[in-house]
Amino acid sequence: MASSNNKRRILAGSFGNFVELYDFFVYGFSVPILATYFFPAGNPTVGILSTFAIYAAAFLMRPIGGILFGRFGDRLGRVKMMTITVLVMGGCTMLIGLLPTYGQIGLLATILLVIARLGQGLSMGGETSGAYSYLLESAPEGRRGTWIGVGAAMAFLPAAVVGIFILGLRTLLGDAVFEDWGWRLPFLLGGVLGLVGLYLRMKVEEPEAFVESRRTEKITDPLRTVLRTHRGPLLSVGLLSSANGLVTYTLNGYLYTYLLTVAGLGQVAALLVVSTAIATAAVLYPVTGMLADRVGRKPLLLAGTLWTAAGIYPAFLLASSGSVGSAALAALILVVGTALTTTPQFLVQAEMFPTAVRYSGHAVATNIGNALFGGTVALVSGALVSSFGTPVAPAPYIALVSVFAFFVVLRTPETRTYDLQHSHRNTTTASQHAASEPVHD
């Protein structure tokens, strides 16, 4: 019975992540087409940068979503908020698939695209923190990293699924038909997936850790509490977003467009390279989660930030060559960087807050950090390439932030043995970790 309940919980939390990120990634993979349909004809570079600006604007909504959903998620429950976020995301994604174009209704089309994208960002601001809080609090003893790794895998796997789906549609419909109306189909599917996520989440209960916290902790305003008494963790968690934000969103939010517009690869080749790379990263996330359970979070984070700092220039150099093989090697460099940092980062960020304010604290800090680092990487990288006229222009920027992230990690505590209810080191738990056998679902 316990095993069945665990499977339902991990499926509900992680599949909701799949739905949310599927919807988010559809936009990223559709930037070249959206630029032609929702902005005036003329300069393609301006259209793409404008579309990336809307992509970044969604990240600016994430802190607002984090504040809104986090506050109610700590008061009313993780599951309730997770059902709302998945519905909002699915509805906004379907709306993009139904929008008339700039050629049909002018500037109103652009405004409606912005509104839908802002709705996606609002939803994402609550979804990520809710899902990871739920998975962390539901995980068996000694398996937090593994469960968060599964959630991370399901969050990034959609990028590969979207790429393969778009490739299949292009093959089935032909490029002309796909670029005429077929591009809308992935957006419409996002609405259907939202209903599936809603169904799964309605079948699970709140984690016992959350129920116990609500029974014993009398906190009426979690947001005010976390802002007043957890400023240190807020700063650390926000800055930790830089540890993998740039490399992750370079891989799944910018590389595809870069390979098309800078390296000159064809649609099929670019989709295959990026989709394969992201699928590989998703497979590695549970593996690094298991490693984080065994050796700790910090060793992986330190290795990942150093890897990215050293490898980002060769990655852009390879990606810009115009060769499919070189592009695949570039993507592999990014894969290693994101695999080493993603799961450990999510773990540390959630474990640094006690259960009573975890949703609020995680949501506020990570969404601000992602807005600053992850959400702007495509816009900044595109602008750097355009301004300096060199395809490796983004590399120094990403390398510098990675070095900064390394020092942030050095000052961040190891949270593997933290007690979740109170978010401090529990030496009893630490000794149990060392002596216990792996827990099986």
Residues 258, 317: Cα–Cα separation, whole Å: 12
The pLDDT, as a whole number, for residue 422 is 77
The pLDDT, as a whole number, for residue 347 is 94
Overall average pLDDT of the 241-262 stretch: 85
| pLDDT of 373 over the 80 cut | no
Site of tokens 């699928």: 279
The pLDDT, as a whole number, for residue 3 is 63
Q: Which of 36-50, 212-226, 355-369, 419-433 has the lowest mean pLDDT?
A: 419-433
Q: Which fold has domain 2-205+230-432?
A: Growth Hormone; Chain: A; (1.20.1250)
Helices of type H across 181-323? 184-201, 208-216, 222-229, 231-249, 255-261, 267-295, 298-319
Overall average pLDDT of the 393-401 stretch: 93
Backbone φ, ψ for residue 265 (5° rounding): -70, 155
pLDDT in tens, 173-196: 998 999 899 999 999 998 899 888
Report the half-sphere exposure of 334 (CA within 13 A, side-chain side): 34
pLDDT in tens, 78-91: 999 999 998 998 89
| pLDDT of 420 over the 60 cut | yes
Reported in sequence order, the residue ranges of 169-261 that DSSP labels E, i.e. its strands, are: none
The pLDDT, as a whole number, for residue 434 is 37
| pLDDT of 92 over the 50 cut | yes
Hey, which residues does 418 pair with through a beta bridge? 425
Three-state SS at 256: helix
At residue 371 the predicted structure's pLDDT band, cuts being 50, 70 and 90, is confident
pLDDT in tens, 107-133: 898 889 888 888 988 898 888 889 999
Q: Are 439 and 143 in contact (CB under 8 A)?
A: yes
Decide which of 387 and 378 is more confident: 387
- Most confidently modeled range among 66-80, 240-254, 289-303: 289-303
Q: Which of 221-235, 254-268, 366-380 has the lowest mean pLDDT?
A: 366-380
Number of CB atoms found within 10 A of residue 427's CB: 9
pLDDT in tens, 9-25: 888 888 877 887 787 67
pTM for this entry:
0.82
Q: Are 206 and 334 in contact (CB under 8 A)?
A: no
In 3D space, the residue among 70, 158, 192, 50 whose CA is nearest the CA of residue 122 turns out to be: 70
pLDDT in tens, 307-360: 999 999 999 999 999 999 999 999 999 999 999 999 999 999 999 999 999 999
Angle at 158 between CA 102 and CA 16, to 5 degrees: 100
pLDDT in tens, 139-168: 988 899 999 999 999 988 887 788 788 888
